Amino acid sequence: MTGFVWNATINIFGDKKTANVCAPGKCRNYDFTDLMKKTEEFIENKLIWKAKQYSLPTEFAFYFKDLSNDVQSSFFAQIDVTTSGKPVLLFTSQAKEWTLICTRQVIGKDKKGILSLDFGDIKQIFSAEIGPTLKSQAVGHKSIKPKTEWNEIAIIDRNDFSHSFYANRGSDLFSLWNILLMVKRLSTE
């Protein structure tokens, strides 16, 4: 029995992605450009999938679609859906701050006002309690609250500005953090 060798070449030219797959005697060219596009529906499904991994909803974290029409309307009055995309997940804190994850942006509200950040602009995510540290820096652990008390993350954008986003302390905050890490990765793939 003799085997044969498959040969595949993947080409990426700008936004065009193709694969040329050859076996002895025949070749086929596949265009998978459209398969690589991350549609709003794809992002929404990924967000919901990740949220389920963290046992959402909780007392302070919700699927946007499950909110009452009145609550949804109050959010729609505060955000621009044409730039943010479809709202999917809402995280709230006991201090009434909130973070809304949409299909293109993360939007937050605190005492200072509302801010929005495109997923592609996220450079770094870290605990607002600790802040960015270098491996060589020592962190004074005595002054840091226990992780279960954290309710704020900081995001550094591509212009090196810091933005705060909030969730309820503990597992809700870590769910928010990990979901944002996922969308950051998705936006750079």
pLDDT tens column, 82-118 = 999 999 999 999 888 999 999 999 999 999 999 999 9
38-188 has which fold?
Answer: PH-domain like (2.30.29)
User: In sequence order, what E strands does the chain have?
Assistant: 7-13, 16-23, 26-31, 61-63, 87-92, 98-102, 105-110, 113-118, 122-127, 152-157, 162-166
Is the pLDDT at 186 greater than 80, yes or no? yes
pLDDT at residue 1 tops 50: no
Per-residue confidence (pLDDT) for residue 69, from 0 to 100: 97
> Mean pLDDT across the stretch 29-48?
77
- Beta 122-127 vs 26-31: how paired, if at all? unpaired
> Can you tell me the distance from the alpha carbon of 143 to that of 165, in angstroms, rounded to the nearest whole number?
21
* Confidence class for position 26, pLDDT limits 50, 70, 90: confident
Whether 115 contacts 92, CB under 8 Å: no
Give the distance, in angstroms, between the CA of residue 154 and the centroid of all CA atoms in the same chain.
Answer: 14
Q: Where are the domains of the chain?
A: 1-37, 38-188
Residue closest to 112 by CA, chosen among 178, 76, 162, 148: 162
Cβ contact 165:99 at 8 Å: yes
Per-residue pLDDT tens over the stretch 154-180: 999 999 999 999 999 989 999 999 999
pLDDT of 60 > 50? The answer is yes
Note the pTM of the prediction, 2 decimals: 0.75
pLDDT digits (tens, 9 = 90+) for 115-139: 999 999 999 998 776 665 544 445 5
Mean pLDDT score across all residues of the chain = 83
